Structure 1
Amino acid sequence: MKLSFKIIEEKHLPLIKEIYDWYIANSTATFHTEPISLDELKELLYFDHHLYHSFLIYANDELAGYCFTTHFKKRQAYDRTAEVTIYLKNGYEGKGIGKKSLLFIEEKAKANGIKNLLGIITGDNIGSIALFEKCGYSICSRFKNAGEKFGRILDVLGFQKEI
């Protein structure tokens, strides 16, 4: 499978919203419970930032998802650390796309001077947990009973990798 990545521009937000809204409605991968607006989505992603980047993921020239890095905390002393996020379109899981995307975004972060990447994952998101562990991330935190979605109380796990 041929993967390629394209820098996200504002014009891509409807495509990203469609992917993200599926996760809102069908999973605990996000703690949003209602579809978000394009303006809210703009707040999650960076366009032309010197440290953080956002990419569309294409598998064999078809949109397969998106990935991005963002602030861990919006304080300058944390600029060496970023949070990494990957969302694949429903049906693209289990094909190696997540792993290749995570390795790609790690290289981009490393080139920008990022030293640590964090993945914040819901405790029952077995697929994401397996992905991050396969890519060398380890659990660095557990927030017990931190969120509630679909009537379930859920932990949130922090995964970290020094790059």
Structure 2
Amino acid sequence: MNEIQFKVATKADLPFIVAIYNQTIPSHVVTASLVPVTVEQRLPWLEAHKSTEHPIWVVWLNGKRAGWVSLSPYHPRAAYHITSEISIYIDRQFQHLGLGTKMVKYAELAAPKLGIKNIVCLIFGANLPSLGLFEKLGYETWGTLPKVAELDGRLMDLKILGKSIQLVSN
């Protein structure tokens, strides 16, 4: 049986978080970053994520770090405080084990305690695995921004999927 643990990320986890994030850049369908990021570049991002408001969790599978999930402010203006953006990243060696589903559900269950009523995710239209995961979990398309990014010479649509957390049941 697989033992899954979620632990609030610390500065010591940042090299792992950055490494997993950087794994996705060459695919040109997961993130809008075009070149690898550094630990130093991501430190302000980590420090801005307060565990009582917008946590980052490192996901452990059988005692090994397998990925991370974060809830980030959707928008800096105050009225949007009830909405957070979710991001999930899984180390290649731990993909296709059902972790993505568990990560999203974990964040959904934590959201109400954080004052979050809506979760959104921003996914490139070409990222079919992520779109499939979130649609399977009840996220609906709340909008599409056509051809807003250029990755590897291709124009990409950005899909905005969302879910009202008050509808989430255990």
User: TM-score with structure 2 length normalisation?
Assistant: 0.90
TM-superposed deviation, 1:27: 3.7
Determine which of 121, 134, 137 is the counterpart of 2:136. 134
Paired residue type of 2:50: D
Q: Partners of 1:71 and 1:85 in 2: how far apart?
A: 11
Give the equivalent residue in structure 2 for 1:50: 52
Give the equivalent residue in structure 1 for 2:168: none
Give the equivalent residue in structure 1 for 2:16: 15
Partner SS, residue 95 of structure 2: coil
Paired residue type of 2:102: K
Residue range with higher mean Cα deviation, 49-58 or 67-76: 49-58
Give the equivalent residue in structure 1 for 2:33: 32
Would you tell me which structure has more helix in proportion to its own residues?
Answer: 2
Structure 1 residues 158 and 43: alpha-carbon distance in aligned structure 2, compared to 1, 3 A threshold: farther
Paired residue type of 2:70: F
TM-superposed deviation, 1:49: 4.3
Give the equivalent residue in structure 1 for 2:78: 76
User: TM-score with structure 1 length normalisation?
Assistant: 0.94
Q: Partners of 1:127 and 1:110 in 2: how far apart?
A: 27
Q: Partners of 1:55 and 1:26 in 2: how far apart?
A: 24
Paired residue type of 1:42: L
Q: Partners of 2:31 and 2:49 in 1: how far apart?
A: 22
Residue range with higher mean Cα deviation, 77-86 or 34-43: 34-43
Q: Partners of 2:159 and 2:61 in 1: how far apart?
A: 28
TM-superposed deviation, 1:113: 1.4
Q: Partners of 2:145 and 2:94 in 1: how far apart?
A: 29
TM-superposed deviation, 1:42: 2.4
Residue range with higher mean Cα deviation, 90-99 or 129-138: 90-99
Q: Partners of 2:160 and 2:54 in 1: how far apart?
A: 19
Give unmatched runs, 5+ long, in structure 1. none
Percent identical: 28
Task: List aligned pairs for 1:96-107, cutoff 5 A.
Answer: 96-107=98-109
Residue range with higher mean Cα deviation, 123-132 or 33-42: 33-42
Q: What is the RMSD of the two structures over their aligned residues, measured on CA atoms?
A: 1.3
Q: Partners of 1:3 and 1:27 in 2: how far apart?
A: 29
Structure 1 residues 47 and 117: alpha-carbon distance in aligned structure 2, compared to 1, 3 A threshold: closer
Q: Contact 1:139–1:160 at 8 Å: present in 2 too?
A: yes
Residue range with higher mean Cα deviation, 38-47 or 67-76: 38-47
Q: Contact 2:87–2:121 at 8 Å: present in 1 too?
A: yes
TM-superposed deviation, 1:47: 4.2
